C-alpha cells in the first residue's frame, strides 16, 4: 500500500476502533457501523479511494455492510463500546499470538489480556503472529492451547477477517513457540 494510503488507513482504523467522537463521527453501538459518507467527509477522500483502501488492506481490517457501501466498520479491535455480536466458534486445537520479548514477564504471570480492547487477538498461523510481534519489538510467538481452553469453558469467536478472539488467555494455556 502506498504510504499516503497507509497513513489514511491507519487513521481510519483509529477512528473506527477507538475515536469516532474525536472524528465527530457517530458509531452504531450495534455492530460498530459508521455512515460511509461521514468517513469520506472526515478523511477528505472519495468513495472509490475508500473502497481501494478497504480492498487493499492486507489485514482485512474493514468491511462494508453490503454492496451499497453506505456503512463501514472495523472488523475487530475496538476499545469503544460496541456490540460486534460475534458467533461462538470451535477454534483449531492450537492458536498463536505475537508479542514483544519485553512483555513476557507480565504475560507469563497474568496471561494474555485485552488491554482496553474487547478481546485478545489470536492467529491460526505462526508467521502472521511473528509479524504482529515484530511491530512491538523483538518478536516472540506464543502457542495457545485453544482446545484445552474451550474444553475448560472459554469462548472463542472469529472476526470477518479471520482473527480469532477470546476475552483472556490464562498463563497455563501458553507456551513459547
67 with 107, same domain: the answer is no
User: Has residue 31 been placed in a domain?
Assistant: yes
For the chain, counts of helices (H) and of strands (E): 6, 11
Residues across the chain? 177
Residue 89 lies in a domain: no
Q: What is the mean pLDDT of residues 131-160?
A: 92
Same structural domain for residues 113 and 164?
Answer: yes
CATH number of the domain to which 150 belongs: 3.20.170.30
Number of structural domains in the chain? 2
Tell me, yes or no, whether 139 lies in a domain. Answer: yes
Span 55-74, mean pLDDT? 91
CB < 8 Å & 24+ apart, contacts of 106-111: 107/142, 107/171, 107/174, 108/171, 108/174, 109/171, 110/171, 111/168, 111/169, 111/170, 111/171, 111/173, 111/174
Identify whether 138 is part of a domain.
yes
Q: Is the pLDDT of residue 115 over 50?
A: yes
Pick the residue with more confidence: 145 or 78?
145
Q: Is 88 helix (H, G, I), strand (E, B) or coil?
A: strand
Co-location of 101 and 168 in the same domain: yes
- Residue 95's pLDDT is what? 97
Domain that holds residue 133: 94-176
Question: Minimal CA–CA distance to 142: which of 108, 109, 91, 118?
Answer: 108
> Could you tell me if residue 79 is inside a domain?
no
Backbone torsions φ then ψ of 141, nearest 5 degrees:
-110, 125
pLDDT at 1: 45
Task: State residue 114's pLDDT score.
Answer: 86
- Candidates 52, 25, 118; CA nearest to 79 is 118
Residue 156 burial (C-beta neighbours within 10 Å; 0-12, 13-18, 19+) = buried
Amino acid at each position: 500500500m502506498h504510504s499516503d494510503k497507509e497513513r489514511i488507513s491507519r487513521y481510519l482504523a483509529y477512528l473506527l476502533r477507538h475515536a469516532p467522537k474525536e472524528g465527530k463521527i457517530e458509531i452504531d453501538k450495534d455492530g460498530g457501523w459508521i455512515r460511509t459518507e461521514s468517513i469520506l467527509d472526515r478523511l477528505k477522500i472519495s468513495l472509490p479511494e475508500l473502497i481501494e483502501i478497504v480492498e487493499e488492506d492486507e489485514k482485512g481490517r474493514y468491511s462494508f455492510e453490503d454492496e451499497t457501501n453506505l456503512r463501514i466498520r472495523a472488523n475487530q479491535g475496538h476499545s469503544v463500546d460496541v456490540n460486534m455480536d460475534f458467533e461462538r466458534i470451535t477454534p483449531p486445537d492450537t492458536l498463536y499470538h505475537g508479542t514483544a520479548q519485553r512483555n513476557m514477564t507480565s504475560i507469563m504471570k497474568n496471561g494474555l489480556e485485552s488491554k482496553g480492547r474487547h478481546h485478545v487477538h489470536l492467529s491460526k498461523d505462526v508467521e502472521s503472529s511473528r509479524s504482529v510481534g515484530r511491530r512491538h519489538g523483538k518478536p516472540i510467538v506464543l502457542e495457545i492451547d485453544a482446545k484445552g481452553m474451550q474444553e475448560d469453558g472459554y469462548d472463542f469467536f472469529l472476526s470477518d477477517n479471520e482473527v480469532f478472539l477470546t476475552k483472556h488467555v490464562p498463563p497455563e494455556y501458553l507456551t513459547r513457540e
